[in-house]
Amino acid sequence: SNPQTDTTTINNPNNPVIPGFHPDPSICRAGEEDYYLACSSFEYFPGVPVFHSRDLVHWTQIGNALDRPGQLSLPRGTPSSGGLYAPTLRHHDGRFWLVVTNVSGDGNMLLTATDPAGPWSDPILLPGVHGIDPDLAWDDDGNCWCTVAGVSQYRIDPHTGETLGEPHRLWSGAPGAKAPEAPHLYRIGDYWYLLIAEGGTERCHGISIARGRTPDGPFEPCPANPILTHRGTDHPIQNTGHGDLVQGPDGSWWMVFLGVRPLGGTPGWHILGRETFLAPVTWVDDWPVVGEVALTMAPPPWPLREPAAVPVRDDFDLGDLAPAWISPRSRPARDHTTGERPGWLSLHARGESLDDPEVTFVGRRQRDLSCRARTLADPAEGRGGLAVRLDEQHHYEIEAAPGQVRVLARVGPFRSEVASHPTAPGPVVLRVETTATREVTDARQGPDTVTLGVEDEAGTYVELAALDGRYLSTEVAGGFTGRVVGLYASTGTVHFDWFDYEARTD
């Protein structure tokens, strides 16, 4: 059967291993069986989510590498999909090292930590390193190589951020293929391998590799390049590229990489951004061969260590927000408090609506193609609610005001009030549901339907609007992110008692 229309697979695939907007994965292993992974975060604060796994399949977010305003400033002018691009995470010399680019600010920077859950150091800037997608690799002589998209390489002092000597060109990938980027350099056996992505992050994306005897080249391309691509296929996973390699304790090799799951008719729309997938790697003639990339992957040859499920409800009873919560550009503590009304999250409006780049909004990445989010909102002192956000110009929301709710939609230059509905005074339960398109019966069908509404006193869902999800997809909005579902205030103060998020199985 087509995996896209298989109900079990669509609701509960084990690949992507980190679903939702988690692109540009970089991975390392520390010790026998602890794996860590970091992703891009663009205009959101905190930046660079960090995950932990004991089996490569189940991942838990343990923090964000840049979670203090002093480490990361994303001013109001930071465009959507600007900000933090493509980290590399490495474990070396008893420490964790992370390099990342702020394309809207300081450029390349390096951070270190003894515990990848944090705290991470303040960034050391790399002002001499020009180019996105920085990689870090050390050779036996103690040289630290920083390789960037293009593909060029610098020798740096990782303690000061200084560049040592001139950069040099390493490889441009296949002739004619655009965007050689996402380099990662590894010493494996007798060779140095240079892994890159090429073709651009859309449907042409792929991964190629070259090898040489020294870390600074020359490199000989693999005759089988690209070693991974789904271009030109109707595979349910598309845009596969931007990968990183890791070795298991048993000597087996694995690749994490980004991919998307387009749904609906032609051309297919992906709504969760670029997600992190896993595939097994074998070696033939000292070249890596990437095994099948499927939505349901064969388990690795070791016991799976499934962590406790993330609870559906966040009660806002802890002092701090869990690491999965993110906000566009900044999150001033005074506007997002859990202490003001104990057990509630109180949001104080900054911008006037979700169109504002610095709206008071906290959300979590939508991880499931079909999902449900709910919240109990008290709008007695303001206006705000529950939103599905792709960026400032693409969002749907249900907004509560005293005695009334409204459904609002912003798509590109258009903004409209889609529905309004009277409510009893006092707190109101707001609900958003997404229903993925499982079977395409019409080529014009969208990827999903997003419904927004309230719950009546009996807890029954009163649906006020059903909107085509294509307008909150990357194919329509462009950019590098994905949907984020969360809470906002557009006027005054709105208090939220809890937030529920779950995959829909109905």
Catalytic residues: 24, 181
Instruction: Establish if 104 lies at the interface with ligand 6LW (CB under 6 A).
Output: no
What is the amino acid identity at position 387? A
Q: Is residue 396 a contact partner of residue 472, using CB atoms and an 8 Å limit?
A: yes
- Here's the x/- map for ligand 6LW, 34-63, by CB under 6 A: it reads as ------x-----------------------
Q: How far is the CB of 238 from ligand 6LW (least distance, A)?
A: 12
Closest CA to 302 of 248, 262, 344, 238: 248
Q: How far is the CB of 241 from ligand 6LW (least distance, A)?
A: 6
Among 116, 241, 264, 446, binds ligand 6LW (CB under 6 A): 241
Question: 8: which DSSP letter?
Answer: H
Q: How far is the CB of 24 from ligand 6LW (least distance, A)?
A: 5
CA dist 163 and 127 (Å) reads 8
Identify which of residues 67 and 275 has a Cβ nearer to ligand 6LW in the complex: 275
Identify which of residues 86 and 465 has a Cβ nearer to ligand 6LW in the complex: 86
Instruction: Establish if 21 lies at the interface with ligand 6LW (CB under 6 A).
Output: no
Identify which of residues 361 and 480 has a Cβ nearer to ligand 6LW in the complex: 480
Q: Is residue 211 a contact partner of residue 191, using CB atoms and an 8 Å limit?
A: yes
Instruction: Establish if 408 lies at the interface with ligand 6LW (CB under 6 A).
Output: no
Q: How far is the CB of 25 from ligand 6LW (least distance, A)?
A: 10
Burial class (CB in 10 A: 0-12, 13-18, 19+), 7: exposed
Q: How many residues bind ligand 6LW (CB under 6 A)?
A: 15
Strands (DSSP E) found in 413-460: 414-422, 428-436, 448-455
- Write down how long the chain is: 506
Closest CA to 238 of 223, 265, 253, 257: 257
Instruction: Establish if 147 lies at the interface with ligand 6LW (CB under 6 A).
Output: no
CA within 13 Å, CB half, 506: 4
Instruction: Establish if 389 lies at the interface with ligand 6LW (CB under 6 A).
Output: no
CA within 13 Å, CB half, 44: 29
Identify which of residues 241 and 248 has a Cβ nearer to ligand 6LW in the complex: 241
Edge-to-edge, what's the strand order for the sheet holding 168-169?
Answer: 135-138, 144-148, 152-156, 168-169
Instruction: Establish if 385 lies at the interface with ligand 6LW (CB under 6 A).
Output: no
CA dist 287 and 291 (Å) reads 13
Among 16, 24, 64, 361, binds ligand 6LW (CB under 6 A): 24
Instruction: Establish if 365 lies at the interface with ligand 6LW (CB under 6 A).
Output: no
Burial class (CB in 10 A: 0-12, 13-18, 19+), 58: middle
Among 54, 242, 329, 406, binds ligand 6LW (CB under 6 A): 242
Closest CA to 364 of 286, 299, 272: 272
Tokens representing 116 are 């990848």
Q: How far is the CB of 488 from ligand 6LW (least distance, A)?
A: 25
Q: How far is the CB of 179 from ligand 6LW (least distance, A)?
A: 8
Tokens representing 32 are 């026998």
| Residues 196 to 215 in contact with ligand 6LW, rule: CB under 6 A | 197, 201
Identify which of residues 100 and 246 has a Cβ nearer to ligand 6LW in the complex: 100
Q: How far is the CB of 201 from ligand 6LW (least distance, A)?
A: 3
Question: 439: which DSSP letter?
Answer: S
Identify which of residues 86 and 407 has a Cβ nearer to ligand 6LW in the complex: 86
Closest CA to 448 of 434, 430, 427: 434
Instruction: Establish if 482 lies at the interface with ligand 6LW (CB under 6 A).
Output: no
By Cβ distance, which residue is nearest to ligand 6LW? 201
- Here's the x/- map for ligand 6LW, 426-465, by CB under 6 A: it reads as ----------------------------------------
Q: Is residue 45 a contact partner of residue 329, using CB atoms and an 8 Å limit?
A: yes
Q: Is residue 109 a contact partner of residue 102, using CB atoms and an 8 Å limit?
A: yes
Q: Is residue 47 a contact partner of residue 41, using CB atoms and an 8 Å limit?
A: yes
- Here's the x/- map for ligand 6LW, 258-297, by CB under 6 A: it reads as x---------------------------------------
Identify which of residues 15 and 337 has a Cβ nearer to ligand 6LW in the complex: 15
Under DSSP, is residue 305 helix (H, G, I), strand (E, B) or coil? coil
- Give me the residues that bind ligand 6LW (CB under 6 A), please: 23-24, 40, 85-86, 132-133, 181-182, 197, 201, 241-242, 258, 480
